[in-house]
Amino acid sequence: MKLKIPNIDKNQFLNEIGDIARFTARFFREVSKPKQEYREFINQCYWVGYKTLTLVGVTAFIMGLVLTIQSRPTLVEFGAESYLPSMVSVSLIREIAPVITALICAGKIGSGMGAELGSMRVTEQIDAMEVSGTNPFKYLVVTRVMAATLMVPVLSSLANAISLYGGYLGVNIRGQVSWHLYWFQVFGVLDFSDMLPSLVKTFFFGFAIGIIGTYKGYNSTKGTEGVGRSATTAVIVASLLVFIIDLIAVQITDILGLT
Amino acid sequence: MEKDLKPVIMVKNINKSFGENHVLRDFSMEVLPGENLVILGKSGSGKSVLIKCIINLIQPDSGQIIVLDHGINELDQDELDRLRAKVGFLFQSNALYDSMTVRENLEFPLRIHWTKEERAKNAENAVKEALEDVGLAHTVNMMPSELSGGMRKRIALARALILNPSVILYDEPTTGLDPITAREISELMVEVQKKYNATSVIISHDMNCIRITSNRVIMLIDGRCYADDTYDNLRLSKDPKIREFFD
């Protein structure tokens, strides 16, 4: 049987990168113009932030709990059980909580934006907005990207706190550490160089998720099939970008000596 | 129709291609004030592209389009938006905003073209009047998903009317509707045209709709104007290409 290798068009790939760059440049042009859609921005903050909070919260809690339970045996083996809160907190704050939050947002927000705008494109709602004199890019894209850029760091910060609480419960399943001692150990090991890079990169995660989700939806074609494809590719590309940004962020923190 | 009237819409020698597909070829037409002009043609003949060129949703490759004395391709965005306030557009798919109620759908065009004070003072009445014109005043707080196909079409028409447009463009207004509803929509279009004294350009291949609404019919074949006459004259034509639509 002959194996069929999928044909990857290099030009199409480069064109797509060029289109995303142009789309991003247009975002910055539109965001700098006066008359912003504040009401729609608040509305999007509600959908992106509040409506994702439960999912992020539950995941963060389980993440903190599981990481603590999984890490304990190794630390016990080396007689370093007392370092459990410190180790878990550094892992959660620096890497795991922001990245997992961003991946959840890429899945929920990215696909939501891709599907919503894609559906609006194929049912001519975006054209109807343009005909009515509204700038659909500003109304639909700018508000969503701004909301994602602002809300993903907020969600990530809440995920940090909730995951640390999960860690506290995890520590106390087998051991016994008081509430005060746990937080004393957590904040004893965390400092500015752990918190700031972790927070800054989440703004970039949010921006990337917003741009990719809206780009895929806004440029959706080929009817309902295209809407599904927009939602799926939005999640895939946004998730990949989260890892790429994380990799770059680690390199930059390393160069700046913040590790 | 008086011959010395100044055309509301002038389309001069426009061409539009998508890749190798030449959709409009050197197409020209004029629409006089108060006229109900129907553009008739098969699917893919360029009807929808033409109407979208008129409102500048699609830019022609060459040629000129003048709407209400403005060269549509020469306007900046603000001027274009102001002109669009005078042109209502009924989309084939209705294009109602799914996430908004009927009231919010109708108020949406007002937020750009009316001041905050004007909206606070007059929006309620404008919405009410537009909905009464299409016979659906009771749907004001409903979502588009709660409405039937015919009701959505009427609401879309109400949204197109809310700014009292001088020109209304209809893109296949009866497509997807049952014959009774299609007839009701066609009759509503005539009523609206009389009440608002608007000029209409109607894209259609529904012969009943054309019979009810048209003063004049332009037949578009292969991107060119093949015939330009009244419905009754075209119906009596023996040209086989024209007869295809009537037989």
Find the CB nearest B112 among A119, A124, A134. Answer: A134
Residue A17's pLDDT is 92
* pLDDT at position A125: 94
What pLDDT score was predicted for residue B176?
Answer: 83
Mean pLDDT of B187-215: 90
Task: Find how far residue B77's CA is from the centre of its chain.
Answer: 21
Residue (of B205, B189, B97) closest to B144 by Cα position: B97
Q: What average pLDDT does the segment B21-43 reach?
A: 91
Can you give the pTM of this predicted structure?
A: 0.87
Most confident range, picked from A86-90, A149-153, A230-234, B221-225: A149-153
DSSP B147: S
Task: Output DSSP code: residue B146.
Answer: G
Res B177: pLDDT: 86
Q: Is the pLDDT of residue A114 over 60?
A: yes
User: Across the interface, do B112 and A127 touch by the CB < 8 Å criterion?
Assistant: no
pLDDT (0 to 100) of residue A234: 94
What pLDDT, on a 0 to 100 scale, did the predictor assign at position A49? 92
Q: Which of A39, A125, A137, A224 to mutate to test the interface with B (most CBs of B within 10 A)?
A: A125
State the nearest Cα–Cα gap between B88 and chain A, in angstroms. Answer: 8
Which residues neighbour B203 within 8 Å (Cβ) at sequence distance 6 or greater? B38, B39, B47, B48, B50, B51, B169, B170, B171, B172
Residue A127's pLDDT band (cuts 50, 70, 90): very high
Tens-digit pLDDT profile for residues B126-180: 999 999 988 888 999 999 999 998 899 999 999 999 988 999 999 999 988 888 9
pLDDT in tens, A7-49: 667 788 889 899 999 999 999 999 998 888 899 999 999 999 9
pLDDT of residue B20: 85
Between CA A206 and CA A213 the distance in angstroms is 11
Judge whether residue A64 has pLDDT over 60: yes
The verdict on a CB contact (< 8 Å) between B84 and A124 is no
H or E element, residue B25? strand B21-31
C-alpha–C-alpha distance, residues A140 and A47, integer Å: 13
Instruction: Quote the pLDDT of residue A7.
Output: 63
pLDDT of residue B4: 61
Preferred mutation among A132, A135, A140 to probe B, highest tally of B CBs within 10 A: A132
B103: helix, strand or coil: helix
Q: Which CA distances in Å does A151 have to A27, A213, A245, B21, B124? A: 18, 15, 17, 45, 35
Angle at B161 between CA B159 and CA B167, to 5 degrees: 125
Whether residue B189 is predicted with pLDDT greater than 60 in this model: the reply is: yes
pLDDT at residue A3 in the model: 62
- Express each pLDDT in A72-86 by its tens digit: 999 988 888 888 999
Q: What's residue A96's pLDDT? A: 94
Dist CA B244 CA B247 (whole Å): 6
Burial status of residue B64 (CB atoms within 10 A of its CB: 0-12, 13-18, 19 or more)? middle
Q: Is the pLDDT of residue A1 over 70?
A: no
Assess A125–B contact: CB distance below 8 Å, yes or no.
yes
Q: Is the pLDDT of residue A67 over 60?
A: yes
Does position B187 have pLDDT exceeding 70, yes or no? yes
pLDDT band at A60 (very low <50, low <70, confident <90, very high): very high
Residue B220 DSSP SS3: strand
Q: If 0-12 CB within 10 Å is exposed, 13-18 middle and 19+ buried, where does residue A17 land?
A: exposed
Q: Scanning every residue of chain B, which has its alpha carbon at the shortest distance from the alpha carbon of A134?
A: B112
Give tens-digit pLDDT for A145-196.
999 999 999 999 999 999 999 999 999 988 888 999 999 999 999 888 888 9
pLDDT at B3: 53
Give the pLDDT score at A54. Answer: 95
- pLDDT confidence of residue A176: 85
Q: What pLDDT, on the 0 to 100 scale, is given for residue B193?
A: 87
Report yes or no: B79 at the A interface, CB cutoff 8 Å. no
- pLDDT value at residue A259: 66
For residue B245, what pLDDT is reported?
Answer: 84
Nearest Cβ partner for B112 among A119, A124, A133: A133
List all residues 6 or more positions away from A176 whose beta carbon is below 8 Å from its beta carbon: none
- How far apart CA A103 and CA A237 sit, in angstroms, is 11
Residue B155 at interface with chain A, using a CB cutoff of 8 Å: no
Backbone angles phi, psi at A256, to 5 degrees: -80, -5
Q: A-chain residues within 8 Å CB-CB of B97?
A: 120, 125, 128
Q: Measure the CA–CA gap between A211 and A24, rounded to whole angstroms.
A: 7
Please report residues of B whose CB lies closer than 8 A to that of A134. 108-109, 111-112
A81 touches chain B (CB under 8 A): no
* Contact with chain A for residue B114, Cβ under 8 A: no
Residue bearing the bigger pLDDT, A202 or A35: A202
**Is there a contact between B78 and B31 (Cβ–Cβ < 8 Å)?**
no
Share of chain A above pLDDT 70, in %: 96
Put simply, the answer to whether A133 touches B109 (Cβ < 8 Å) is: yes
Q: Which of B89, B163, B168 to mutate to test the interface with A (most CBs of A within 10 A)?
A: B89
User: Is residue A162 packed enough to be buried (19+ CB in 10 Å), middle (13-18) or exposed (0-12)?
Assistant: buried
Question: Which residue is it, tokens 């410190």?
Answer: A86
Structure confidence by residue, pLDDT tens digits, B83-108: 998 999 999 989 999 999 999 999 99
DSSP codes, chain A: -PPPPP---HHHHHHHHHHHHHHHHHHHHHHHSS---HHHHHHHHIIIIIHHHHHHHHHHHHHHHHHHHHHHHHHHHTT-GGGHHHHHHHHIIIIIHHHHHHHHHIIIIIHHHHHHHHHHHHTTHHHHHHHTT--HIIIIIIHHHHHHHHHHHHHHHHHHHHHHHHHHHHHHHHS---HHHHHHHHHHH--HHHHHHHHHHHHHHHHHHHHHHHHHHHT--SHHHHHHHHHHHHHHHHHHHHHHHHHHHHHHHHHTT--
Q: What is the largest CA-CA distance in chain A?
A: 70
What's the mean per-residue pLDDT of chain A? Answer: 91
Distance CA A83, CA A81 (A): 5
A236 or B247, greater pLDDT:
A236
- The ipTM estimated for the assembled molecules is 0.88
What does the pLDDT average to over B35-55?
A: 90
Alpha-carbon dihedral of residues B159, B161, B167, B171, nearest 10 degrees? 40
Check residue A8 and give its pLDDT: 62
pLDDT, position A2 = 62
- How far CA A93 is from CA of A79, A97, A256, in Å, comes to 24, 6, 18
Q: What is the pLDDT of residue B246?
A: 83
Mean per-residue pLDDT for B210-226?
91
Q: What angle do CA B97, B100, B101 make, to 5 degrees?
A: 115
- Nearest CB among A119, A131, A134 relative to B57 is that of A131
